[in-house]
């Protein structure tokens, strides 16, 4: 394994397993007996609360394990759990659990601690069989694409800017591109996009406030009674309809859980319906899944308004995505501490102006940054199975083709307008897709023939996700370091490390753009107005 590729593991969250602590792997029958020793809904509630457990409680749980551990330094380098094994534990409880337990835990520990020990036992069964270098790369691919952001503010901002603002600006689209998604959405579901977002946000409140281990032991009220929760909002009926679209009885997932039990990355049903319900009680499966319904969930919900073979929404969203990225970079350049940056928006060129340039260009002296957007979604065969064929196809779609397209357009523009980019000869191309495609040696290095067709002026390129390009915009706006220097150092020395991890280690917390911070207050005001709280 290359030293540079192996560096990624210091940035990948790893979690404890039972065998690492106690030296033995529990038999599967013992694990199933533990699962059947507690009511299914109670177990899922505890796991839900674990997913938002505070740091102090996480440390306390780890300290309880230390007397059983020989290599304390190794254990201290790991998390007691993370969303990966908590979600897999949920799948196992759904697959084998019961609402009528016929066993009991045979110890004096409280129920939450017994569930924690069961999570550790389950974790031993989710660890991939890693025998080859290819297996390592598969794990990195699936692990990176499994991750769901818990940053609710970013989801709200993206949703608001793309779907609430840009999607209404008819003049930003060609006549055959524009779709009135707001009218189509309301006709399909009977409520507006704004009402959906406001309701989904309010259902995130448990995830936002979090909990402590003491809260779990003392059995604090967790989750909501939806009828009471929406009692004082003016859109109660619509809110309840939206809630019902987002919730599911865990037992309805049993067939799925059992059929995918060997795949610790497959949680597709919980991305669509991330709230567990039982009787008049409902609680979130995880903060990442709950956050996803604000933007990802809305995307797929809008998609359902169109026939299966109708791709017009994908085209419309592609244009939204391009405008979002371009506007953000333009604003960052305008507010930058480095006044010498020059932003160039997308433009038409060619004999009859029938060709479009890349989505954005940023020039600084003789250096030129080209941004080419590709908005589609990486397929589940790649995300969940690391299927060789679809992975290679997705890599070409979101990486090699956009970079080649940007290079070709750059060369054609130079032929027709030699002074367009002010004589810049050091070119860096960024291909930007919605989800960041992990950099893997077998894809990045094994087939480099396509790179021979790039302009000789292209000396660097990279492929980013939406979060990554937002970081690039933040650097341009707020730091006095040239974006070209930042990219050169990152790509040259830490090419396999994800951008958020790299930025955090060098500069600390990843903050919002100034324009985004101002807009967030407006979004919260809109949510309050949409819900229309009644005076009690």
Is the C-alpha dihedral spanning 187, 191, 192, 197 positive or negative? negative
pLDDT tens column, 258-303: 999 998 889 989 988 999 998 888 999 988 888 889 999 999 999 9
Angle between helices 181-189 and 193-202 (to 10 degrees): 70
Q: What is the pLDDT of residues 216-246, one digit of tens each?
A: 999 888 889 999 999 999 999 999 999 999 9
Confidence band for 206, pLDDT divided at 50, 70 and 90? confident
Question: Which has more confidence, 19 or 5?
Answer: 19
**pLDDT(316) > 70:** yes
Query: What radius of gyration, in Å, describes the C-alpha atoms of the chain?
Result: 25
Q: pLDDT digit string (tens) for 388-432?
A: 899 899 989 999 999 999 999 999 999 999 999 988 989 999 999
User: Angle CA(131)–CA(136)–CA(140) in degrees, nearest 5?
Assistant: 155
Per-residue confidence at 160, pLDDT binned at 50, 70, 90? very high
Residue scoring higher pLDDT (9 or 261): 261
**Do 68 and 17 touch, CB atoms closer than 8 A?**
no
Residues 6 or more apart whose CB falls under 8 angstroms from that of 117 comprise: 18, 34, 109
pLDDT of residue 9: 53
Would you say 147 and 289 are in contact if contact means Cβ atoms under 8 Å apart?
no
Asked if residues 431 and 402 have their Cβ atoms less than 8 Å apart, the reply is: yes
At 380-394, the pLDDT tens digits run 888 888 888 998 999
List Cβ neighbours of 266 (8 Å cut-off, separation of 6 or more). Answer: 260, 384
**For residue 479, pLDDT beyond 90:** yes
Condensed to tens digits (0 to 9), the pLDDT of residues 79-133 reads 889 888 999 999 999 999 999 998 999 899 999 999 999 999 999 998 656 667 7
The pTM of this model reads: 0.91
Counting residues of the chain whose pLDDT is more than 70, the rounded percentage is 96
Tokens of 518: 């101002």
Per residue in 22-56, pLDDT tens? 989 999 999 999 999 999 999 999 999 999 999 99
Contact 210, 52 (CB under 8 A): yes
Task: Compute the distance between CA of residue 231 and CA of residue 2 in angstroms, rounded to an integer.
Answer: 58
**Residues in CB range of 132: below 8 A, 6 or more apart:** none
pLDDT for res 143:
78
- State percent of the chain over pLDDT 90: 66
pLDDT at 147 over 80: no
Helices 193-202 and 152-159, packing angle to 10 deg: 170
Chain centroid to Cα 221, Å, comes to 29
pLDDT at 8: 57
In this prediction, residue 519 has a pLDDT band, given cuts at 50, 70 and 90, of: very high
- The chain-wide mean pLDDT, for the chain, equals 90
Using DSSP, state whether 298 is helix, strand or coil.
helix
Where are the extended beta strands (E) located within 109-195? none
| pLDDT at residue 7 tops 60 | no
CA-to-CA separations, 502 to 143, 227, 337, 483, in angstroms, rounded = 17, 45, 22, 14
69 versus 224: which is more confidently predicted?
A: 224
């Amino acid at each position: 394994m290359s030293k540079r590729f192996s560096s990624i593991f210091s940035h990948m969250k790893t979690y404890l397993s039972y065998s690492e602590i106690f030296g033995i792997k529990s038999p599967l029958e013992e694990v199933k007996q533990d699962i059947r020793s507690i009511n299914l809904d109670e177990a899922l509630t505890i796991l839900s609360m674990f997913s938002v457990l505070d740091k102090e409680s996480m440390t306390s749980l780890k300290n309880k394990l230390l007397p059983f551990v020989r290599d304390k330094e190794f254990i201290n380098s790991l998390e007691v759990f993370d969303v990966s094994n908590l979600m897999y534990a949920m799948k196992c409880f759904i697959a084998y659990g019961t609402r009528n337990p016929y066993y009991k835990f045979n110890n004096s520990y409280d129920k939450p601690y017994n569930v924690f020990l069961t999570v550790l036992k389950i974790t031993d069964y989710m660890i991939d069989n890693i025998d080859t270098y290819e297996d390592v790369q598969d794990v990195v691919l699936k692990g990176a694409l499994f991750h769901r952001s818990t940053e609710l503010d970013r989801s709200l901002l993206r949703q608001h800017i793309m779907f609430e603002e840009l999607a209404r600006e008819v003049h930003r689209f060609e006549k055959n591109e524009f779709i009135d998604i707001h009218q189509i959405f309301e006709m399909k579901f009977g409520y507006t996009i704004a009402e959906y977002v406001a309701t989904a946000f309010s259902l995130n409140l448990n995830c936002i406030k979090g909990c402590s281990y003491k809260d779990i032991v003392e059995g604090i009220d967790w989750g909501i009674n939806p009828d009471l929760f929406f009692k004082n909002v003016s859109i109660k009926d619509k809110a309840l309809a939206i809630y019902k679209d987002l919730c599911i009885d865990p037992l309805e997932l049993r067939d799925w859980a059992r059929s995918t039990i060997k795949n610790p990355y497959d949680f597709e049903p919980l991305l669509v319906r991330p709230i567990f319900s039982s009787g008049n009680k409902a609680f979130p499966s995880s903060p990442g899944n709950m956050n996803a319904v604000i933007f990802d969930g809305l995307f797929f919900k809008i998609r359902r308004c169109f026939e299966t073979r109708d791709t017009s929404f994908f085209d419309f969203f592609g244009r939204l995505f391009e405008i979002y990225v371009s506007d953000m970079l333009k604003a960052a350049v305008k507010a930058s501490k480095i006044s010498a940056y020059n932003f160039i928006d997308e433009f038409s060129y060619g004999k009859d102006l029938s060709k479009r340039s890349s989505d954005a260009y940023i020039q600084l002296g003789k250096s030129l940054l080209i941004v080419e957007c590709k908005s589609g979604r990486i397929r589940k065969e790649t995300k969940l199975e690391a299927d060789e064929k679809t992975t290679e196809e997705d890599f070409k779609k979101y990486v090699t083709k956009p970079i080649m397209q940007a290079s070709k357009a750059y060369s054609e523009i130079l032929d027709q307008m030699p002074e367009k980019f002010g004589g810049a000869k050091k070119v860096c191309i960024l291909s930007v897709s919605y989800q960041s495609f992990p950099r893997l040696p077998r894809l990045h290095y094994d087939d480099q023939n396509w790179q021979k067709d790039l302009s000789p002026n292209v000396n660097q390129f990279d492929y980013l996700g939406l979060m990554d390009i937002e970081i690039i915009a933040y650097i341009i706006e707020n730091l006095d370091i040239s974006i070209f220097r930042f990219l050169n150092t990152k790509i040259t020395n830490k090419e396999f490390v994800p951008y958020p991890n790299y930025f955090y280690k060098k500069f600390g917390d990843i903050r919002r753009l100034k324009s985004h911070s101002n807009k967030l207050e407006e979004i919260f005001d809109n949510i309050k107005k949409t819900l229309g709280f009644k005076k009690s």
